[in-house]
Amino acid sequence: MAKTLCDWSKKDISDEFDRLCRITTSPEFVCRKCARCACAARHLCKPKRLENRQATAAATPSLLTPAASW
């Protein structure tokens, strides 16, 4: 069985950074143990599908865009 993101060490993250980017670019699942996100459940030890992602994304202001009142 392959190592899940939950078990990656700092060295694993550094050595496999390109792979990490591919796995986490469009997350569909979150780990209920450590809160890491991934595109597929197989990358996490206790995965839970993210629900209503599009509705939530549309309703949540971007953290990168300053609010009009700022």
Q: What pLDDT does 68 receive?
A: 59
* pLDDT digit string, tens, across residues 4-33: 999 999 999 999 999 999 999 999 999 999
SS3 label, residue 39:
coil
CA distance 53 to 28: 8
Strand order in the sheet with 29-31: 37-38, 29-31, 47-49
pTM: 0.68
Q: What pLDDT does 53 receive?
A: 63
Amino acid, res. 16: E
* pLDDT digit string, tens, across residues 50-70: 987 665 455 555 555 555 555
Q: Is 6:31 a contact under the CB 8 Å cutoff?
A: yes
